[in-house]
Amino acid sequence: MTLAELPAWSGDETEITRTVELPGFMDAIAVVDRVAVVAEEMNHHPDIDIRWRTLTFRCSTHTAGKVTERDYELASRIDEIVANQS
């Protein structure tokens, strides 16, 4: 998978980022909760910034110092969660 296959994401070889705005705070927290479950299953965790109803996800494989296939897979799963919440 490549960044081009994730149109909602931007970034470079060191980090990919997506910001989403949900209808309300509880909707945003529900998305965070669902992402947390997936991240635990994958044993790969994004950085998440919560600002009321706006979430920013940052994915990078810190041990590799770059974006890896695991980041693209996590980003794709985050896209699915957001699509099902909206």
Q: What is the mean pLDDT of the chain?
A: 96
Say what percent of the chain tops pLDDT 70.
99
Confidence class of residue 18 from pLDDT cuts 50, 70 and 90?
A: very high
Quote the tokens at residue 25. 């705070």
CB count in 10 Å sphere of residue 19: 14
Distance CA 3, CA 73 (A): 11
Residues of the chain with pLDDT > 90: what percent? 95
3-state secondary structure 23-60: CCHHHHHHHHHHHHHHHHHHCCCCEEEEECCEEEEEEC
Residue-wise pLDDT tens digits, 19-60 = 999 999 999 999 999 999 999 999 999 999 999 999 999 999
pLDDT at 86 over 90: no
For the cut 90, the answer to whether the pLDDT of residue 7 exceeds it is: yes
Secondary element (H or E) of residue 19: strand 16-21
Looking at residue 56, its pLDDT comes to: 98
**What is the pTM for the complete model shown?**
0.95
